[in-house]
Amino acid sequence: MEYGKKGVNTICTHVGGVKDERYKGAISPLYMATSYAFDNIDEKRYPRYFNTPNQQALTKKIAALEHTKDAMIFGSGMAAISHSLMAFLKAGDHIVFQQTLYGGTYNFATTQLEKYGISYSFTEGWEVTDFETKIRSNTKVIYIETPSNPLLTITDLKAVSALAKSKGILTMIDNTFASPINQNPADYGIDIIIHSATKYMGGHSDICAGAVAASEGHIKRLWESSICFGGSLSDQTVWLLERSLKTMGLRVKAQTENAQNLAVFLDGHHDIDAVYYPGLKSHPGHELAKSQMKGFGGMLSFELKEGMDPSEFMQSLKLIKPSMSLAGVESTVTAPVLTSHALMSKEDRELQGIKDGLIRFSVGIEEVEDLMADVEQAIHQVKSKTVLAR
């Protein structure tokens, strides 16, 4: 069966299960064994070798979803990111990171790489020229994230990949925000596609996992060093992740639709100063996003009107929960100033365009009218409290 030719929801439901030969059950049997008898020493199975029946089956689903030949699953998104960086970089190498990155990746870059003799640069923007100017003779990897956190900036996949290829540089992307439903970077020549499966792949706020999709050659190299680093995922969670992926297409489509409607609603609201969502025509990356994404995703950010307190607003919400994480079926909000970007100085934040009143919204699958009503009543509460305080 040629999986790549199947529609996305068919891949989600049918590809990459463990067949229940014995009882013909509808779902994958779960193999928890950490010890497997072998006939041949070359065929040894072990969870940390990333080759248990459930692990192997799930990689087929992820590879099919990302249009790559192979994939691997890890114990967390950060395990997927760190194992990928360590597999393809060595002492003396240099890496170019996109300016705006997931906080954990930024931390890994700034606290870990130097001690292994790996140097790095951050771009000053998202244009392909911003990447080009940072390339050195020893640059081995360009690492991007699009859409990015929290302003949903868009990086040109095709242009960055062409630039890297012309110089023999490997490209890596954190594709978590888009999910494989809304963006397939392999179609644009990106080499290593990384996911925090804790987010849209898991989707129910009950799984911590990571995934990497790439060519067979790249996965082989990643596997060779990953069995040393040891960041494999428990088979119980592998099994749960397979279950979650069956509905990923449906979930992400509903979240994307809700996010688009909410973005339009917020954009027209007189108590909201700005809305950042690539699905809005006013977003600077809109045309580019349209050309490389299948949907604009379930994440958006917005700024409350000057003087309205973001923590007050978040505490006033009744249905939508303030939370660090994202991409669950339930809607959540966070203020980057208080969480992911709290350690950055106000000056640095403003340089990146992150204002104090900014709120990041992870849109769930609820009825969008209920989400709008919750936002409306919270704004009303904040405004009446602000008036009382005067």
Ligand X SMILES: *Cc1c(COP(=O)(O)O)cnc(C)c1O
| Site residues (vs ligand X, CB under 6 A) | 76-78, 102, 104, 149, 174, 176-177, 196, 198-199, 208, 210
Closest distance of CB 332 from ligand X, Å = 12
Beta-carbon contacts of 129 under 8 Å, excluding residues fewer than 6 positions away, are: none
Between 248 and 382, name the residue whose CB sits nearer to ligand X: 248
In the three-class reduction of DSSP (H, G, I as helix; E, B as strand; rest coil), residue 253 is classed as helix
Closest distance of CB 252 from ligand X, Å = 14
Closest distance of CB 106 from ligand X, Å = 10
Minimal CB distance residue for ligand X: 77
Closest distance of CB 19 from ligand X, Å = 29
Between 131 and 177, name the residue whose CB sits nearer to ligand X: 177
CA-to-CA distance for 205 and 202, rounded, in angstroms? 7
Between 208 and 375, name the residue whose CB sits nearer to ligand X: 208
Q: What is the torsional sign of CA 311, 106, 97, 296?
A: negative
Angle of CA points 281, 283, 288, to nearest 5°: 85
Between 11 and 211, name the residue whose CB sits nearer to ligand X: 211
Closest distance of CB 238 from ligand X, Å = 14
Between 192 and 208, name the residue whose CB sits nearer to ligand X: 208
Strand-pair partners of 142: 96, 171
CA-to-CA distance for 299 and 334, rounded, in angstroms? 11
DSSP string, 279-327: TSTTSTTHHHHHHH-SS--SEEEEEE-TT--HHHHHHH-SSSEE-S---
* Residue tagged 């992740």 (tokens): 241
